[in-house]
Amino acid sequence: MNRETYIGLAVALATLLFVFLQNDPKAAPEETPDTGEKTLFSASYGTPVLDGAASDPVWQQAEWLPLDQLWIGQAPSAADFSGRYKIAWDDNNLYVLAEITDDTLIDMHPDGLDHYWDDDCLEIFIDEDASGGNHQYNFNAFAYHIALDGKVVDVAADSAFTYFNDHCVTRRNTVGPVSTWEVAMKIFNGKRFSPDGENIPKMLKAGKKMGFALAYCDNDHSQERENFIGNVPVAGEDKNRGWIDAGIFGLLELSAE
């Protein structure tokens, strides 16, 4: 063969290889489809005193955000339930202030690991690196259920309901139907988290982005929670996906101010 023939064969082989790789799903995996714009949040810098009073300067400068997205049940009346919240941070913690109006507070399960989602509780979802994805039986993200007594539960990697009380410190002050929750939450790298290891919380800094969502389980004397109200819209018919899919979380950025 002459030189031109060799060149022609090489080009043909390169073309065939390119086509093969393009059609091979292992060599060229498709990107995850974009499911829509994320709900964006910003957290103010400051360290509140956790006393359930919400009078600290950092809370005064932070804006109220609505807790008004129906994930389970039927839309409650304002007398039955309404909620709003604020977010703040410092080097060591993410802080959530939630003001919840709930005419009936229910804690029917003495065992805090038994059907804890069917009692009244505040739930904070956090994805440290905003990577999204499944976190049902892993620590890619956390879904902290905070009970009326302050105990914190999530599902561990072995599918067992597990206490994570050292991750969140909570103070709740209730006057009439209004409960003021203040939560200081340590942030962990879930991809390196070990339930039996020494886990060092992340140091936070301005500009950091995390996946974030907030919700409230509302029960009024039923065997199961009657309503589940979140802070982000969830597309599709099944809106109770936050405990499995971190992709439904909003995107939180830590502000320098």
Q: Convert the pLDDT of each residue in 147-163 to its tens digit.
A: 999 999 999 999 999 99
The whole-number pLDDT of residue 36 equals: 53
pLDDT band for 196, please (50, 70, 90 cuts). Answer: confident
pLDDT beyond 80 at 61 = yes
C-alpha 24: how far from chain center: 35
Across the chain, mean pLDDT equals 87
Query: What is the pTM assigned to this prediction?
Result: 0.85
pLDDT band for 142, please (50, 70, 90 cuts). Answer: very high
